[in-house]
Amino acid sequence: MIDFARVQKELQECSRDMESSGIKVAPKSDNLARLTGTIPGPISSPYEGGTFQIDITLPDGYPFEPPKMQFATKVWHPNISSQSGAICLDILKDQWSPALTLKTALLSVQALLSAPEPDDPQDAVVAQQYLRDHQTFVGTARYWTETFAKTSSLGVEEKVQKLVEMGFPEALARSALESVGGDENSALEKLCSG
Amino acid sequence: MQNEEQLTCRIEDLANCCGGVDDDIMQKQSTEYQSASPILLEKIKVLGDKYVAIRRTRGDGNCFFRSFMFSYLEHILETQDGAEVDRIKLNVEECRKTLQSLGYVDFTFEDFFALFLEQLDDVLQGNENSISHEELLNRSRDQSVSDYVVMFFRFVTTGEIRKRSQFFEPFIFGLTNTTVEQFCKSSVEPMGEESDHMHITALSDALGVPIRVVYLDRSSCDAGVVSVNHHDFVPAPGNPPSATSASSESINPFITLLYRPGHYDILYPNYGTWNTCVYVVGWVDGTSFMLLSLTCIYYGMQTIKEVRVMEAVKINLNHEETQGCKAKALASSVFVLYIVINVQMLLNCEWGPKCRLPESFRQSSVPI
């Protein structure tokens, strides 16, 4: 059974110092078991300037079991799958402790962005590139940040406008954006598939 | 293979009140003792003399904390020691402040603290939430209680280690080559991380509860005499404690844990044997006392540890009037002692003021 009272407290705590940490956690719906975390790309890393969305699913045993976290925004990083967004981080596995919180976990994920550990990779291709051709790695990571992590920095109205220009009805575009948490690419995908 | 069976059997002897045994643990034992050495077998025999039973705990890496939890709460439940509860509550408050000053956010630990304090109140009888021994067992097996208390102890331990990081640093660095903070993050705070000397020292100091750990390993003993080592973790008086684990004769820990490499269980000392005293009523002088001692040796090497002679009935050897009574006195003293010893043997040495072996123990096969 998830300790929802605690999750509630965590959300409050997080929103209180959102300004300073830049880290945001919001429930996807009324159900507190599924949340979306947002972290800014760390300064002086190829991820600088990007805003990264992370899907969070709380297991039944939370806070005794670690939250499941996965990048919703595409990232080029040795410890994050470029396909699925799966994160390889010890505190999200056996080193998790109830002393940690969603916020501290997201801070660790943010720290992982600045300090990749290519020797313990999640994405072997990226890790190879990181070790053998660092220049290209930085370039790719920066390009991915520009392409996937910056669209969400646009205001909602601008995004709606963009989608309307593409030929979708405004109401539909707006609801699609809302349902995917404001991510323009996902909204587009949704609109195209729907 | 033969050794293995013999050993399991002996362990069962030691834990003859334990009922059935968890399969998992059986397996663990057999692998653990695959090459049971004669020393080990001998040690188990020695253990059997001093302890009446063991209570098993789950082998999930939290065994030390879980053993401590049950042992402590059981002690309070049995002794109803309100003063001890008041004392530990002060320490718990101190731990809370420590965590706050270390920058831990309240909501990360308050639930765990609250749950432990609730258990403390519940084992004290006389309020509406008071619980029985059986309920304590159930709660210890119920993860939604047990795990919270384990985590509470992990918080207490991590707080103590970080508060006194200067003291712990050399040990931690020597053992794991990491910083105090890293050690706490990776080896204390996560559930399932095993405990060692450092954890026990920190928990014992922080809560002010002495802990005895009996070591069942293959280390041999001096002079060919097999004995089982133990170490008493005695919280140093004063705050902050300056030295730890200094064995002190005067403190007798009420928590005794059995350590076999990689695992802790709870041991129940054979208080009946050790605290037995024989009160000799009758006339006693030099000669009869010697005879008494001989009788003790003959009948009760195992059972009699102390003979108390009532001061009031000692007589003066040279006093004329008493001379005639000497023979009678001697005979009656020996007779009384003879009866006492026999009664004790009949009762299988479990006779004594502090002998404890909870009823529910006999049915408990599931480890806590």
Return d(Cα A98, Cα B272) in angstroms, integer. 42
CA B248 to chain CA centroid, Å, is 16
Q: Which of A13, A95, A98 is opposite residue B105, by nearest beta carbon?
A: A13
When comparing pLDDT for B32 and A118, which is higher?
A118
As a whole-number percent, the residues of chain A with pLDDT over 70 amount to 96
pTM: 0.73
Which residues in chain A touch residue B155, judged by CB atoms under 8 angstroms apart?
99
**Average pLDDT score, chain A:** 90
Q: A155-193 sits in which CATH class?
A: mainly alpha
Return d(Cα A143, Cα B124) in angstroms, integer. 65
Contacts made by residues B341-346, CB under 8 angstroms, sequence distance 24+: B341/B278, B341/B295, B341/B296, B341/B299, B341/B300, B341/B303, B341/B304, B342/B299, B344/B276, B344/B300, B344/B303, B344/B304, B345/B299, B345/B300, B345/B303
Return d(Cα A16, Cα A18) in angstroms, integer. 6
When comparing pLDDT for A114 and B220, which is higher?
A114
Asked if the Cβ–Cβ distance from A99 to B158 is below 8 Å, we say yes
The tens digit of pLDDT for each residue in A27-70 reads 988 888 999 999 999 999 999 999 999 999 999 999 999 999 99
Beta bridge partners of residue B213, listed in sequence order: B231, B257
Determine the pLDDT at residue B263: 92
Determine the pLDDT at residue B29: 45
Determine the pLDDT at residue B180: 96
Q: b/e for B222-247, b at 16 or more Cβ within 10 A?
A: eeeeeebebebbbbbeeeebeebbee
Q: What is the mean pLDDT of residues A9-22?
A: 88
ipTM for this prediction: 0.76
Q: Which of A23, A39, A87, A88 is catalytic?
A: A88
Listed in sequence order, the residues at least 6 apart from A184 whose beta carbon sits closer than 8 Å to its beta carbon are: A151, A152, A154, A159, A162, A163, A177
Structural domain spans, chain B: 63-270, 276-346
Determine the pLDDT at residue B295: 59
SS3 of residue A24 by DSSP:
strand
* A6, closest residue in chain B (CA to CA): B107
Return d(Cα B21, Cα A165) in angstroms, integer. 72
Question: Pairing state of beta strands B255-260 and B211-215?
Answer: parallel
Determine the pLDDT at residue A59: 96
Q: How many CB pairs under 8 A join A and B?
A: 41
Q: What is the DSSP letter of B156?
A: H
Nearest to A163 by CA among A142, A177, A150: A177
pLDDT bucket at A88, cuts 50 / 70 / 90: very high
The tens digit of pLDDT for each residue in B307-336 reads 444 433 444 444 445 555 566 666 666 666
CATH number of the domain at A4-151, out of 3.10.110.10, 1.10.760.10, 1.10.287.110, 3.40.1190.20? 3.10.110.10
Asked if the Cβ–Cβ distance from B107 to A64 is below 8 Å, we say no
Q: Which residues of B are catalytic?
A: 60, 63, 230, 263
Structural domain spans, chain A: 4-151, 155-193
Q: Which of B107, B151, B158 is opposite residue A13, by nearest beta carbon?
A: B107
Determine the pLDDT at residue A110: 97
Asked if the Cβ–Cβ distance from A10 to B107 is below 8 Å, we say yes
- Do the Cβ atoms of B91 and B208 come closer than 8 Å? yes
Which residues in chain B touch residue A1, judged by CB atoms under 8 angstroms apart?
144
Which residues in chain B touch residue A6, judged by CB atoms under 8 angstroms apart?
107, 111
Q: What distances in angstroms separate CA A115 from CA A79, A109, A112, A118, B196, one per listed residue?
A: 10, 10, 5, 9, 32
Determine the pLDDT at residue B90: 96
pLDDT beneath 50: ranges in chain B: 1-32, 34, 239-249, 272-283, 301-320, 346-363
The tens digit of pLDDT for each residue in A121-171 reads 999 999 999 999 999 999 999 999 998 998 654 567 777 888 888 888 888
Q: What are phi and psi of B197, to 5 degrees?
A: -45, -45
- Domain B63-270, CATH homologous superfamily name and number: Peptidase C65 Otubain, subdomain 2 (1.20.1300.20)
Asked if the Cβ–Cβ distance from A99 to B192 is below 8 Å, we say no
Cα distance from A101 to chain B (closest Cα, Å)? 7
